[in-house]
Structure 1
C-alpha cells in the first residue's frame, strides 16, 4: 500500500512542469506575497495581510505591467491618503458630510479614470477608493486616523516593492521584442495596403490594430530604458501609420510593392526600404507625396529603436476622451456609494464600513469594463468561494499551527487556487475577488484574533457590497451601443464643424478623429457588416476634414485669397444642405482652376459631400445640429 502511494506521488510530481509560463507566474506570485507578508510582520503593521493583498491585486504575467500598475497604485494611494486625512480632519464628527464628500471624491476619481489612459487610469481609481481603506475603523476612533492612513500607505508600498523585486529577478522582459515585431508587421501591411495588395477590409482592420501599439507601449516602456526614451517617437510613428491607412491612395504601386517586400524581411529589410524611399523622395516629380515622407519617418524610428540614443523631444499625440461616458461613470459611482453610506449610517450596522470598502473599488474597476454587470457577477462568484475558505482557514487550520513558516505555507495553499484562476482571462475577476475576500476575512494579523462574529458580519457586508454593485450596474447600465452612437456623432459633427468655419488645430483634430475611428472598429468588431459601413462613413468624414484644413492652409499664401475666403464662407452657410455645398465647391473649383492645389481641394470636398450627402445631412444621428 505504501509503495502504491509513493508511486502515485512520484508520477504526479514527474508530470508537474514548473517551467511553463503559468507555473512560473504562480510561483512568483506566491513568493512575492510571502515576502510582503514577512516584511509587514517584521515592521509590526496593524494590517500586515494588506501588503499581501496589494501583491495579489497588482499581479500580472508581464513585467512591464507589474511595474506600471505598481507605480501608479502607489501614487494613487498617496493621493487618496492625503484626501482621507483632510476629510477626517474636517468631518470626523460629521459622518453625513464625511460620506457625502467621500462619495463625491470617488465620483470625481472615476470620471478621471474614464478619460485617462492605461496605468494612470488605475492610479485615479485607487485614489478614489483609498479613502475607505485609509479610514477603515477610524470613524469610531478619529484620533487614530493618521496611524490608519500611514499604515495603509506602508502596506501598499511594501506590496508594490516586493512584487517589483520578485518580478525583476525572476521574470523575463519580453515586451520589447513583441513591440518591435508588431511595429514591423503593421508597417509592412501598411505598405502592402498602399500597393493595393490587400483586401478592401484590410484598411478598416489596420485602423483598429494600429492603436494596439500604444497599449503595448504603455507596459513595454517600464521594461526598457530605450523604449521609455523613444516613447514619443514610437507614438508619432503609430500616428503616421494611421494617417497613411486612413487616407489610403493606391498610387506609385511599384514603389510600395518594393517597400512592402523589403519590410517583409523584418529588420534585415529596413536598410533596403530606407534606400528605396530615399530614392523616390529625391525625385522632384514625386516629392509632393506625403505618404513617402510619413513612411520615411516610420522606417527611421524602426531603425534606431534598438539603440539607446534618445530621440528628439516630440509632442505627444492627442487621443479622444469620452467625457459624456466619463460623467455617467462618475455619477453612477457617486450615487451608489452615497446610497450605501446612507444605508450604513441609517441602520447603525457596525460592519457597514466594510460594505463601503467593497462597493468603492468594485464600482471604480467595473466602470470602464465593456460588460460591467458580468464582471460584478464574477466578483460575486469569487466572494462565494472566499467565504467558506476564510472560515475554514481562520477557525479550523490556523488554530492548529504555530510559527511563521507554517503560517506562510497554509496561506500559500489557500492563495494557490485564486492565483491560478487569475492566469485565465475569463476567470480573472473571480480570482481577484477570491484573493481579496479571503485575505481580508481571514485577517491574519499578529497576534491572531479569532472572532467568529466579526467574520460573519464582514462576510455579510462583503456579500451585500458586491450585490449592491451588481444592482447599480443593472439599474444604470453601461451601454456600448450608446458609446458607438456618441463616437459616430462626434466624428461626423467634428468634420461638419470645420465645414461651418470652426477653427481647429489640424494635427490634433486629425489624431483625435483617427483614434475615434479605431475605437469604433474595436467596438464593432463582432458586427462585420455594420463595422464596414460605419468605418466607411467615418473615413469619409476624416477625408472631408483633412481637405478643409488643407484648403485653409493653402488660403493663407494664395494670390486668390479673397475668392477662396469668400467661397469657404458660402460653403459654410450651406452646411445644412451638403448637396448645395458640393455644387458651390465645384463651381469655385472651376473658377480657381489656375490654382491647381486649391481647385483639387475644392473638388475633393465636393466629391465627398455628394457621395455621402445623406450621411452629412442634419437629420442623421438623432437630428444633431452643427453650431
Structure 2
C-alpha cells in the first residue's frame, strides 16, 4: 500500500527539487535550513508587528517566544507552545503570590524563590519532552516577571499580564506562520518506524557479516528534512547497536510530536509507542553471550540460520510495501519459523542446544509482538500503559542545584547592591535551570555561554550602529533579521545548536527595544556587563555547585536494574506481570546509563557495560517466561515447585550471583531428568522451563561483576578493582579478623 499518492503538487515539488539539486549540488543540504530560517524570521516580523500594534511594554519578549517555540516539526512546535503557555500561566500566578507574600522581606523572598525553582527543576527531571520544559519554565518565569517589579511591588500584576500577553502573541505568530507553510505528512513517522524495523532486522540477520552489505543506520529525515532532533545535543554513538538504540529511542519523541499534530497518528499513538518499546527490548537480545558463541550442534546451527533468513527477508522487502500496512507476509513467515524451531527442540536432548533454540524462538516472538502492536486491534493496545522511569536521585540533585544557583545569585545581587544585578538574574537563573536537568550540563553550559558571549558584540552593533539610523517598522524588522539570522541558522545543526540558541534568544534580551524606544548608553553598558558576568558564572556553576558524578549515576542505575530483576523473580506466580512495561522501564534506565557512562569511560568499557545490562534484561525476559510456563496446566506439580524454588534463588542475585546460577542449573538438570516420565502433553512446556533455567544460569555466569553489589561499577574510579572486567567473579568480603563474611 502506497501512502503517498503519485502526481499532483507532489510531482511538481519533486521536479523542482531535482532541478535545484542539478543546478546547485548543495541545495538539498541547505534547503531545509534556509526554509526554517525564512519561516522563523517571518514569524519574528509578525510577532514584532503585533506587539507594537497592541502596544505591549516588552515587544522583544514576543520575538524571544518565537525563537524558543519555533520548530521545523509542526507537532513539536504545537506541543511546546501549549506547554509554554501553561508554564507561563502557572509561573505568573506564582510570581504574584510570592511578591504579595514577601513585599518588604527580600531575604524571605529569595528563599521562597529558590524553593520554587528547586521544585521546578526536580519535577522537570522526572518528566519528559516539553512537559519537562513547562515545569522548569514555571520556575524561572517568576524571575522574568518580577525583575520589572522589584522597585515597585504593586506593579507585579501588570508585569505578569504583560509577560503573558507577549508570550501569547509570540506563540500565535509562530503557529500561524508554521502551520500555513507546512504540510502535515503522517506517513513520515510511519516510514521512520518502518525503516527502524528494517535496520534492526538487518542487524539481527548478520547480513553484513555474510555478504559484506553495508547497513544504513542513518535515521530517516522528519518533516523538516533533518535526520536528528532539532535543537538537541548529540549523543555519542560508538557502534551500530548504539546507533540503533538512539534511532529507536528517537522514535518515541517523533511519535509524541506527530500525535500532537495529526489526528490519524494520535489514534495510533499508543500502539506505536508499545511497538517501539518492544523494538528497544528486541535490541537487548543483541549481546555476545548468544550472538557470538552459538552451540555447534546441527539443531542450533539450523535454528540460527532460520532466524537469520527470516530477518534478512524482512529487511529486504521492497520499501513500497510497508510492513505497517500489510505485515501478513511477515506474520506467516514468523509462525512457520517458530513451528520449525519447536520441531528442532524436540529432536535433541542436549540442554544447551534446547536453551539456544529457545532464545532464537524468543527473538521471532518479540518481532511478531512488535508488529501486532503496530497494527493490532485497539482493544489490545489499550491494555498496554507504558510508564516513565522516575530518576529520583538525579531529580533531587538537580532540584538542589537549581535552588543553590538561585539563592547564590540573589544574594550576590542583594549584597553588592548593583543596580543591574536583576538583569544578571534574568540570564543566570533561566539558563542554569534549563541546563541543570541535562546529563550533559557541563559541556552544554560552555556552549550556551559561548553563544551568549557572541550575542554581546552583535547587540552592541545593532543598538549603536543600526537602530539609530532606521525609521519605521520594515527597517526595524530587517535589521533584527540580519542580526538574528546567524543564531537561527546555527540552531538547525545539532552540533552547535546550543550556541545558536543562546545567541538568538539572549540577543533579544540585550537589545533594548521598547515602546517607544529610548536610548541610554549607561543602561546598555550595565546590561551587557551583567550578562558578561552571568555567562562566566554559568560556565562555573556546573563545575562547582553539585557537579554530576556520572560513574556514581551509572552504578546507581545498574543496581536499580538488578533490584527490579530480583523483585520480578520473587513475585508470586499468580500475580500478573506486564512484561512490556517492565522491559521498557529497564531500557529507559539503560539508555540513561549509556549516555552518562560514555562521558567518563572509554568505548570498550561502555561496550562491556551495555552488553551486561542487556544480559540482565534478557534474564528478566526469561523470568517472565518461566512464570508463564510454570502456570501451564500440563506441567507436573513437582516441576512447578522446582521452578518456584529456582525463582526464589534470585534473592542471592546481588550478593552471590554464582550461587543463583548454580541453583538454576541444578533445577534445570533435575527437571530434564524427570521429563520423560511425565505425560506427553507436558513435555514441550517442561522442556522449555528447563531451557529457560539453563539460559538464565549461563547469562548470570557471563557477567557476575555486573550483578554483584560490590562489582566494579559500584566502585569509584580511583579504587582498586574499579576497572576489572565484568565477567570476573567477585570474591566474598572478609571481616577484620580474616573470616569470610556470611
TM range (shorter): 0.7 to 0.9
Partner of 1:299: 371
Matched-pair contact (CA < 8 Å) for 2:46–2:173: yes
Q: CA deviation at 1:36?
A: 0.6
Q: Against the structure 1 CA distance between its residues 623 and 367, is the aligned structure 2 distance closer, same or farther, given a 3 Å change threshold? A: closer
Partner of 2:608: 533
Structure 2 portions without partners, runs of 5+: 1-22, 211-238, 292-302, 343-360, 676-685, 717-732, 734-742
CA distance, structure 1, for counterparts of residue 668 and residue 452 of structure 2 = 68
Give yes or no for the alignment of 1:510 onto 2:589. no
Partner of 1:10: none
Matched-pair contact (CA < 8 Å) for 2:245–2:280: yes
Partner of 2:272: 234
Partner of 2:671: 592
CA distance, structure 2, for counterparts of residue 166 and residue 212 of structure 1 = 26
Q: CA deviation at 1:349?
A: 2.1
Q: CA deviation at 1:172?
A: 4.5
Normalised by the length of structure 2, the TM-score is: 0.74
Matched-pair contact (CA < 8 Å) for 1:401–1:407: yes
Q: Against the structure 1 CA distance between its residues 214 and 107, is the aligned structure 2 distance closer, same or farther, given a 3 Å change threshold? A: same
Q: Against the structure 1 CA distance between its residues 295 and 505, is the aligned structure 2 distance closer, same or farther, given a 3 Å change threshold? A: closer
Q: CA deviation at 1:573?
A: 5.4
CA distance, structure 2, for counterparts of residue 58 and residue 131 of structure 1 = 19
Q: CA deviation at 1:292?
A: 4.3
Partner of 2:194: 184
Where 1:221 maps in the other structure, the secondary structure is helix
CA distance, structure 2, for counterparts of residue 156 and residue 182 of structure 1 = 33
Q: Against the structure 1 CA distance between its residues 584 and 229, is the aligned structure 2 distance closer, same or farther, given a 3 Å change threshold? A: same
Matched-pair contact (CA < 8 Å) for 2:140–2:429: yes
Per-residue CA deviations over 1:514-555 (Å, capped at 9, x if unaligned) read: 233334445566944223211221122112222233333444
Where 1:135 maps in the other structure, the secondary structure is helix
Give yes or no for the alignment of 1:75 onto 2:86. yes
Partner of 2:555: 485
Q: Against the structure 1 CA distance between its residues 569 and 295, is the aligned structure 2 distance closer, same or farther, given a 3 Å change threshold? A: closer
Q: CA deviation at 1:159?
A: 0.6
Q: CA deviation at 1:498?
A: 4.3
CA distance, structure 1, for counterparts of residue 368 and residue 464 of structure 2 = 67
CA distance, structure 2, for counterparts of residue 272 and residue 234 of structure 1 = 15
Matched-pair contact (CA < 8 Å) for 1:229–1:310: no
> Which piece of structure 1 moves more, 376-385 or 283-292?
283-292
Q: Against the structure 1 CA distance between its residues 586 and 303, is the aligned structure 2 distance closer, same or farther, given a 3 Å change threshold? A: closer
Partner of 2:135: 124
CA distance, structure 2, for counterparts of residue 44 and residue 99 of structure 1 = 32
> Which piece of structure 1 moves more, 284-293 or 571-580?
284-293
User: 1:178-577 to 2 correspondence within 5 Å?
Assistant: 178-197=188-207, 205-247=243-285, 251=303, 253-254=305-306, 257-258=309-310, 260-264=312-316, 265-268=318-321, 270=323, 273-278=327-332, 280-281=334-335, 285=339, 289=361, 291-299=363-371, 313-476=382-545, 477-498=547-568, 506-522=579-595, 527-556=602-631, 559-560=637-638, 561-569=640-648, 572=651, 576-577=655-656
Q: CA deviation at 1:253?
A: 3.8
> Which piece of structure 1 moves more, 115-124 or 311-320?
311-320
CA distance, structure 1, for counterparts of residue 205 and residue 690 of structure 2 = 27
Give yes or no for the alignment of 1:608 onto 2:699. yes
Q: CA deviation at 1:355?
A: 1.4
Q: CA deviation at 1:351?
A: 1.9
Where 1:445 maps in the other structure, the secondary structure is coil
RMSD of the TM alignment (CA)? Answer: 3.5
Matched-pair contact (CA < 8 Å) for 2:385–2:581: no
Q: CA deviation at 1:52?
A: 0.9
Q: Against the structure 1 CA distance between its residues 373 and 533, is the aligned structure 2 distance closer, same or farther, given a 3 Å change threshold? A: closer
Partner of 2:18: none
Q: CA deviation at 1:57?
A: 2.1
Q: Against the structure 1 CA distance between its residues 135 and 328, is the aligned structure 2 distance closer, same or farther, given a 3 Å change threshold? A: same
Where 1:619 maps in the other structure, the secondary structure is coil
Matched-pair contact (CA < 8 Å) for 2:285–2:363: no
CA distance, structure 1, for counterparts of residue 641 and residue 496 of structure 2 = 64
Q: Against the structure 1 CA distance between its residues 211 and 425, is the aligned structure 2 distance closer, same or farther, given a 3 Å change threshold? A: closer
Q: CA deviation at 1:366?
A: 1.5
Q: CA deviation at 1:338?
A: 0.2
Partner of 1:622: 714
Where 1:20 maps in the other structure, the secondary structure is helix
Partner of 2:230: none
CA distance, structure 2, for counterparts of residue 374 and residue 573 of structure 1 = 40
CA distance, structure 1, for counterparts of residue 93 and residue 464 of structure 2 = 37
Per-residue CA deviations over 1:35-87 (Å, capped at 9, x if unaligned) read: 11111111111111110111122233333332222222122111211211221
Matched-pair contact (CA < 8 Å) for 2:463–2:511: yes
CA distance, structure 2, for counterparts of residue 257 and residue 569 of structure 1 = 38
**Greater fraction of residues in helix:** 1
Structure 1 portions without partners, runs of 5+: 1-13
